């Protein structure tokens, strides 16, 4: 089936580097034709007159389209195939050690050039987006791991709005949380529940269009200002194993999908969304 060959999709060196650094740029996940199609679909979310709906998020040149005030998942027929991409699933299966995964997120981030705030690199506080509720302590088990990141749908050159990550940040976070626990403190609550991390240094992840910038869920990361003319277009994805301890593997509700969306799904997409069971 679709996952054939997933064991050799990354080299052992890439796998080791990912678990050591907590991030990895995987090139060539999308073909040039796919990049062009999805980039157009993502930019096609922008209204013709560039009047951005009030419920969209716009900050320092970064536009986050929203389907509704509390829904940022763009699983339209055009963009839905990104959620069931075979190559990204193979990369994830290699790292998780199983192909029985659930995929979610599907949000889009479009970063225009911003000439302001010249003394600042980041346009967003470093944070984590772990599927661990803010009032629940980390388990630090393999079952809890969520792997995510973004497809780059444009070339991202240095200072071009690439996602910033803290190298080794997942290990730094675990050490800090465990030290706090040992001191009788709540490590989960540190740094505003790890949504405002100001004490760690980050680097920009650059790469050609068609790459996936892969992140461990405990790596603090944040958006950066784009200083280049090329508008950065990215689509975000997250994966967990079936049986996630905090319920992040819940299937998508069936009534979310109309005939056009269902027609855009492959058998792999249906399993990743939880509409069909894994064998």
Ligand X SMILES: O=C(O)CCC(=O)C(=O)O
Q: Which of 36, 129, 242, 276 binds ligand X (CB under 6 A)?
A: 129
In Å, how far are 27, 161, 223 from 230, measured between CA atoms? 19, 9, 16
Tokens for 145?
């791991």
Total residues in contact with Fe ion, by rule CB under 5 A: 1
| 36 or 129: CB nearest Fe ion | 129
Neighbours of 64 (CB within 10 A): 17
The whole-angstrom distance between residue 55's C-alpha and the CA centroid of its chain comes to 21
Nearest to 101 by CA among 253, 234, 275, 274: 274
Closer to ligand X by Cβ: residue 106 or 109: 109
Strand-pair partners of 241: 101
Candidate segments 69-77, 125-133, 182-190, 258-266, binder of Fe ion by CB under 5 A:
125-133
Taking CB within 5 to 8 Å according to partner kind, which of ligand X, Fe ion, none is near residue 163?
A: ligand X
Q: Which of residues 59-98 bind ligand X (CB under 6 A)?
A: 62
Name beta bridge partners: 152.
234
Locate tokens 């705030």: which residue?
117
Q: Is 172 a residue that touches ligand X (CB under 6 A)?
A: no
Helix (H, G, I), strand (E, B) or coil at 104: strand
145/20 Cα distance (integer angstroms): 14
Site for ligand X in 216-275 (CB under 6 A): 221-223, 234
Q: How many positions of this chain bind ligand X (CB under 6 A)?
A: 8
Smaller CB distance to ligand X: residue 64 or 181? 64
Query: 239 pairs with which residues across the strands?
Result: 103, 147
Name the residue nearer to Fe ion (CB basis): 129 or 157.
129
Q: Which is nearer to ligand X, 88 or 128 (CB)?
A: 128
Write down the residue that tokens 């980390």 correspond to: 138
- Name the DSSP letter for residue 184: T
Residue 164 CB, shortest distance to Fe ion, in Å, is 10
Only one of the segments 37-45, 64-72, 101-109, 124-132 lies at the binding site for Fe ion (rule: CB under 5 A); that segment is 124-132
Q: Which is nearer to ligand X, 3 or 224 (CB)?
A: 224
| Interface with ligand X (CB under 6 A), residue from 84, 109, 160, 210 | 109
Please name which of 106, 124, 149 lies closest in space to residue 225, comparing C-alpha atoms. 124
Instruction: Provide, rounded to whole angstroms, the least separation between the CB of residue 123 and ligand X.
Output: 8
Contact footprint for ligand X (CB under 6 A): 62, 109, 129, 163, 221-223, 234
């Amino acid at each position: 089936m679709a996952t054939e060959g997933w064991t050799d999709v990354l080299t052992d060196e890439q796998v080791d580097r990912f678990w050591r650094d907590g991030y990895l740029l995987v090139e060539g996940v999308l073909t040039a034709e796919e990049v062009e199609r999805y980039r157009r679909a993502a930019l096609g979310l922008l209204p013709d007159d560039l009047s951005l709906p009030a419920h969209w998020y716009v900050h320092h040149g970064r536009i986050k389209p929203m389907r509704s005030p509390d829904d940022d998942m763009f699983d339209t027929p055009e963009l839905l195939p990104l959620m069931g991409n075979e190559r990204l699933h193979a990369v994830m299966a290699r790292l998780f050690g199983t192909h029985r995964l659930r995929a979610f997120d599907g949000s889009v981030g479009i970063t225009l050039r911003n000439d302001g705030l010249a003394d600042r690199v980041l346009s967003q506080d470093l944070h984590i987006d772990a599927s661990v509720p803010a009032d629940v302590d980390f388990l630090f088990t393999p079952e809890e791991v969520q792997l995510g990141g973004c497809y780059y749908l444009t070339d991202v050159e240095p200072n071009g709005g690439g996602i910033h990550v803290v190298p080794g940040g997942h290990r730094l976070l675990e050490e800090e949380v465990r030290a706090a626990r040992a001191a009788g403190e709540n490590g989960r609550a540190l740094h505003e529940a790890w949504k405002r991390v100001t004490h760690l240094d980050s680097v920009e992840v650059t790469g050609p269009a068609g790459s996936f910038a892969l992140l461990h869920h405990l790596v603090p990361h944040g958006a950066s200002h784009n200083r280049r003319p090329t508008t950065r277009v990215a689509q975000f994805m997250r994966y967990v194993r079936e049986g996630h301890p905090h319920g992040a593997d819940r299937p998508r509700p069936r009534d979310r999908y109309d005939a056009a969306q269902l027609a855009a799904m492959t058998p792999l997409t249906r399993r990743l969304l939880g509409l069909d069971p894994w064998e």
